[in-house]
């Protein structure tokens, strides 16, 4: 099964007919104190929190980004956007592009092909916990629930750190961190602040777009005295279902409808508690040390009583049902097995190993390797240590994730919604077999948590040629190597034309743009120049100029 070309004609027709929504962003350092502690954060146009992106389904979104950080590279990823025909706009550094150096300008342009609640964030060397992230809303003129709510609100959740990401990463990837413990957040933010009010009127319905923009920690959420009517998860419509509590992992989104109740005219707390347990479901003594409360405000002068939850029993999100339950994929053509567990590298540094080894950045962006190695691009060898899985156009693909670790991990697939066929509870102690029963009407998501010492099975169709990451969305685990790469329809990626400003960014950073993962384009099967071991020193997004006129590493900003 094969599409006529990488640039699908239907997508081009939509692009030609739709409006273009444009943003001009200067990425800068800003000082902010969202929880009372002042520190440098990364903002846009000298402001923080960062702006939202808003468009309508079918629009083209164009973001012109200039890196004015001075001491760090950057990139942007538009989480949940499929990037049909525009895989080079997906954003992860050294995957679909080179990191953008200070002083450079880079343009992202892509189709808003599906409506829903999304978010955008840096996808560059553990950078987004420093604040470079924001909501992205794609409105739907044919929203099936549009007559069921009067107004809408955005509610973002994030764990927050008083130290910068570079130093947190250096402490994490250090032999002295003997247990590989990720950084502990200092607080939790709601809409990048605290003590937020949402005006509420009796009898009105409100759509809340809930986004976890955090780096590491999932959040429990509860609306005092109000049911959450869940209508969407990860930009996929659901049959409406009532939930009293939700657990929202990093990168997940929920759209819920809240109705202003008539029982009494008071203010209601919206409780957000960070789930610091490796496995909340089996912890003998649950630990939620950081809470934050927003308010549904009926009386601005009235009392604000805290919302108290004695026991957290969040709704099992694998039981949601898709609104259109007819689009069920057939049995798979290919099954990819993703085993992961903690490990150590040769330096004694704790890593996360996938099928026996951690992900290691290539010297050439993986998409560029697929585009420049000709017929060799169907050979996993040319891609190095990025855990490449090659699938053909049209394949129905199952991803089996076997979690051999003692903690819950949220996994995200770029470029696709997948169907959640199965997710078993903690401590099952075995792995998928032929007798396992799968959900007959599976929900669709792009980010799902996998329970400890158990597994999950996801299914998608390979109809979007490109290079797509599949990774844990705990940012610290990404830096530890918990990532794989789907090389989708490699025959359709050969000689792909990369935008000129993308190539320019690589030249500025001194990164080769052709050949295998080690930069060998004359003999792509020669792996002698490929890095198979992660570096001993963690440098994060630090800018190390390679141009002959640049002699030394730029200064790194310290937290105040």
pLDDT attached to residue 116: 98
Instruction: State how far the Cα of 280 lies from the Cα of 292, in Å rounded to an integer.
Output: 18
For residue 380, with 0-12 CB atoms within 10 Å meaning exposed, 13-18 middle and 19 or more buried, which class applies? Answer: middle
- Three-state secondary structure call for residue 248: strand
Instruction: State how far the Cα of 18 lies from the Cα of 12, in Å rounded to an integer.
Output: 10
Reported in sequence order, the residue ranges of 185-308 that DSSP labels E, i.e. its strands, are 187-190, 197-199, 205-212, 218-223, 228-233, 236-243, 246-248, 253-259, 268-275, 291-297
**For 34-54, what is each residue's pLDDT tens digit?**
999 999 999 999 999 999 999
Residues 6+ apart with CB under 8 A from 316: none
CA 14 from centroid of its chain's CA atoms = 26
pLDDT attached to residue 283: 59
Contact yes or no for 532/547 (Cβ under 8 A): no
* Among 334, 468, 485, 395, CA closest to 2: 395
| HEC sequence for 420-484 | EEEECCCCCCCCCCCCCCCCCCCCEECEEEECCCEEEEEEEECCCCEEEEEEECCHHHHHHCCEE
Contact yes or no for 468/413 (Cβ under 8 A): yes
Instruction: State how far the Cα of 552 lies from the Cα of 410, in Å rounded to an integer.
Output: 38
Token readout for 466 is 């490109």
375: phi then psi, degrees, rounded to nearest 5: -65, -15
Sheet holding 447-450, edge to edge: 388-391, 483-488, 466-472, 409-413, 447-450
Contact yes or no for 102/69 (Cβ under 8 A): yes
For residue 51, with 0-12 CB atoms within 10 Å meaning exposed, 13-18 middle and 19 or more buried, which class applies? Answer: middle
Q: How many CB atoms lie within 10 A of CB 179?
A: 6
pLDDT attached to residue 547: 42
Sign of CA dihedral 147, 149, 153, 156: negative
Q: To which H or E segment does residue 306 belong?
A: none
pLDDT attached to residue 172: 97
For residue 530, with 0-12 CB atoms within 10 Å meaning exposed, 13-18 middle and 19 or more buried, which class applies? Answer: buried
Instruction: State how far the Cα of 452 lies from the Cα of 470, in Å rounded to an integer.
Output: 18
Cα-Cα-Cα-Cα torsion 231, 232, 238, 239, nearest 10 degrees, comes to -10
Q: Which pairing describes strands 236-243 and 228-233: parallel, antiparallel, or unpaired?
A: antiparallel
* Among 122, 5, 16, 120, CA closest to 60: 16
Contact yes or no for 152/211 (Cβ under 8 A): no
Q: How far is it between the farthest Cα atoms of the chain?
A: 75
Instruction: State how far the Cα of 95 lies from the Cα of 52, in Å rounded to an integer.
Output: 25
Low-confidence ranges of the chain (pLDDT < 70): 1-17, 263-264, 282-289, 426-430, 433-436, 545-560
Instruction: State how far the Cα of 524 lies from the Cα of 375, in Å rounded to an integer.
Output: 10
Residues found in the chain: 560
Instruction: State how far the Cα of 45 lies from the Cα of 134, in Å rounded to an integer.
Output: 14
């Amino acid at each position: 099964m094969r599409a006529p070309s990488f640039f699908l004609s239907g997508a081009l027709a939509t692009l030609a007919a739709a409006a273009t929504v444009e943003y001009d962003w200067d990425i800068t350092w800003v000082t902010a104190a969202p929880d009372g502690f002042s520190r440098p954060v990364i903002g846009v146009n000298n402001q923080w929190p960062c702006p939202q992106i808003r468009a309508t389904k079918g629009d083209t979104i164009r973001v012109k980004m200039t890196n004015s950080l001075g001491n760090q590279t950057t990139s942007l990823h538009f989480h949940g956007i499929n990037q049909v025909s525009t895989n080079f706009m997906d954003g992860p550094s050294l995957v679909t592009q080179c990191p953008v150096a200070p002083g450079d300008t880079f343009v992202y342009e892509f189709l808003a092909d599906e409506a829903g609640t999304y978010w955008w964030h840096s996808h560059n060397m553990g950078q987004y916990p420093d604040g470079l992230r924001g909501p992205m809303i794609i409105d739907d003129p044919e929203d099936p629930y549009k007559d069921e709510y009067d107004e809408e609100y955005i509610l973002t959740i994030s764990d927050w750190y008083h130290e910068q990401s570079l130093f947190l990463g250096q402490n994490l990837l250090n032999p002295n961190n003997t247990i590989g413990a990720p950084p502990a957040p200092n607080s939790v933010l709601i809409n990048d602040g605290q003590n937020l009010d949402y005006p509420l009127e009796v009898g009105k319905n409100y759509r809340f777009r809930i986004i976890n923009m955090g780096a590491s920690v999932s959040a429990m959420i509860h609306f005092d005295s109000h049911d959450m009517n869940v209508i969407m998860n990860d930009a996929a419509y659901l049959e409406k279902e009532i939930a009293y509590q939700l657990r929202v992992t990093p990168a997940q989104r929920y759209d819920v409808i809240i109705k202003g109740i008539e029982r009494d005219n008071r203010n209601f707390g919206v409780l957000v508690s960070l789930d610091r347990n490796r496995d909340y479901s089996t912890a003998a003594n649950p630990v939620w040390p950081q809470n934050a409360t927003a308010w549904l405000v009926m009386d601005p002068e009235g009392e604000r009583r805290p919302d108290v939850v004695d026991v957290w029993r969040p709704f099992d999100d694998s039981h949601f049902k898709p609104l259109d339950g007819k689009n069920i994929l057939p049995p798979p053509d290919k099954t990819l097995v993703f085993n992961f567990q903690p490990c150590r590298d040769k330096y004694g540094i704790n890593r996360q190993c996938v099928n026996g080894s951690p992900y290691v950045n290539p010297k050439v962006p993986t998409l560029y390797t697929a585009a420049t190695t000709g017929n060799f691009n169907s050979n996993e060898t040319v891609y190095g240590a990025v855990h490449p899985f090659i699938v053909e156009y049209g394949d129905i693909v199952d991803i089996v994730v076997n979690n051999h670790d003692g903690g819950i991990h949220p996994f995200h697939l770029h470029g696709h919604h997948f169907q959640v066929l199965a997710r078993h509870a903690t401590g099952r102690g075995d792995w998928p077999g032929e007798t396992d029963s799968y959900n007959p009407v599976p929900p669709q998501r792009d980010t799902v948590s996998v329970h400890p010492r158990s597994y999950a099975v996801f299914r998608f169709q390979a109809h979007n040629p490109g290079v797509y990451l599949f990774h844990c969305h705990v940012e610290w685990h990404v830096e530890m190597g918990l990532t794989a790469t789907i090389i989708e329809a490699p025959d359709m990626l050969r000689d792909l034309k990369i935008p000129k400003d993308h190539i320019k960014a690589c030249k500025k950073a001194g990164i080769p743009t052709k050949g295998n993962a080690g930069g060998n384009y004359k003999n792509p099967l020669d792996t002698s120049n490929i890095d198979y071991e992660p570096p001993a020193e963690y440098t994060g997004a630090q800018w190390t100029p390679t141009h002959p006129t640049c002699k030394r590493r730029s200064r790194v900003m310290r937290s105040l």
